Amino acid sequence: MGLYDDLILDLPDGILSNILVGIHWTAVVVEVEGNRFCGLASTQYGVHVHGGEPSVPNAGRLTQLQVRDLVKMILSDKPTLVSIGMATINALLLSGQPQNLETKDAESAIIERGAEKRVALVGHFPFITRLKTLVGHLDVLELEPQPGELAADAAPQVLPKADVVAITSMALVNHTLENLLNLCPPEAFVIILGPSTPLSRVMFNYGADLLAGSVVYGIDPVLQTIAQGGDFPQIRRAGVRLVSMQSAD
């Protein structure tokens, strides 16, 4: 059993209502006990070959599937299906009304924990420039590093030395999160951040200390914005709230 299996086992059941795969974001809406919940995940793409196998084999018929069928897509080797699976998981998790949700953002948590300490950030975020002046030392790891950043394959050298580690939730979508968590020292404060972050206490069993994710409160406006190519700032204005959940330990 691994992180993904535990996430799936911990989920409530629901009825599939809608699936939307936009340019930037994927949304899945489920109904649980008569209430609608919407989960988000960043839309991932594989290599598309004209005339080859489609990225979403059942496109147009996905709503005929059971919710559990969509959840299992998190294990797929097709990136777009993984996005659908992750969005479904996030929708079901919201139906459980997660406890201890706060409005504290990930940037504030990194600054608070990282003052005069070594911070490793996996993923490129807009607050990097501000962080550099507010923490002791900052290493940024990226698949496509920009000037001053490190390649993602430097993680085995960087993460074990960090006091604070912040990992993009995209690592869960691209199936690298569990390996990254295993590289973090036990005493490090570990944050999983990004709108795709599952608000599940299962994540704490694998080394996370803080989950910084999102809650969709304006489902229809958010779906409309995603369908029209909206990026995250746009869908956030349409009806998404950033929230966080911290381990009790």
Q: Are residues 115 and 46 in the same domain?
A: no
Q: Are residues 108 and 92 in the same domain?
A: no
Q: Are residues 127 and 147 in the same domain?
A: yes
Environment class of residue 50 by beta-carbon count within 10 Å: exposed (0-12), middle (13-18) or buried (19+)? exposed
Range of the domain at 149: 101-213
Q: What is the band of 47 on the pLDDT scale with cuts at 50, 70, 90?
A: low
Q: Span 46-52, mean pLDDT?
A: 64
104 has a pLDDT exceeding 90: no
Q: Span 172-187, mean pLDDT?
A: 94
Q: Are residues 7 and 92 in the same domain?
A: yes
pLDDT digits 0-9 by tens, 110-129: 999 999 999 999 998 889 98
Is 30 a member of any domain? yes
Q: Span 73-99, mean pLDDT?
A: 90
Q: Looking at 7-16, 39-48, 166-175, 200-209, which range is the least confident one?
A: 39-48
Is 245 a member of any domain? no
Q: Are residues 89 and 109 in the same domain?
A: no
Any idea what the CATH number is for the domain that residue 72 is in? 3.30.390.100
Any idea what the CATH number is for the domain that residue 187 is in? 3.40.50.11590
Q: Are residues 8 and 87 in the same domain?
A: yes
Is 249 a member of any domain? no
- The encoded tokens of residue 30 equal 């489920």
Output phi, psi for 15, to 5 deg.
Answer: -110, 130
Q: CB–CB of 211/229 below 8 Å? A: no
Is 63 a member of any domain? yes
1 has a pLDDT exceeding 60: no
Is 8 a member of any domain? yes
- Closest by CA to 153, choosing from 185, 195, 183, 110, is 183
**For the chain, what is the domain count?**
2
Q: Are strands 164-168 and 118-122 parallel, antiparallel or unpaired?
A: parallel
Q: CB–CB of 54/64 below 8 Å? A: no
Q: Are residues 231 and 171 in the same domain?
A: no
Q: Are residues 190 and 156 in the same domain?
A: yes
Predicted local distance difference test score (pLDDT) of residue 143 = 87
d(C-alpha 20, C-alpha 176), whole Å: 25
d(C-alpha 36, C-alpha 31), whole Å: 5
Q: Are residues 110 and 209 in the same domain?
A: yes
Is 248 a member of any domain? no
CB neighbourhood size of 92 (10 A): 27
Q: Are residues 40 and 56 in the same domain?
A: yes
The overall pTM is greater than 0.75: yes
Is 155 a member of any domain? yes
Report helix, strand or coil for 175.
Answer: coil
Q: Are residues 182 and 224 in the same domain?
A: no
pLDDT digits 0-9 by tens, 6-36: 999 879 889 999 999 999 999 999 999 899 9
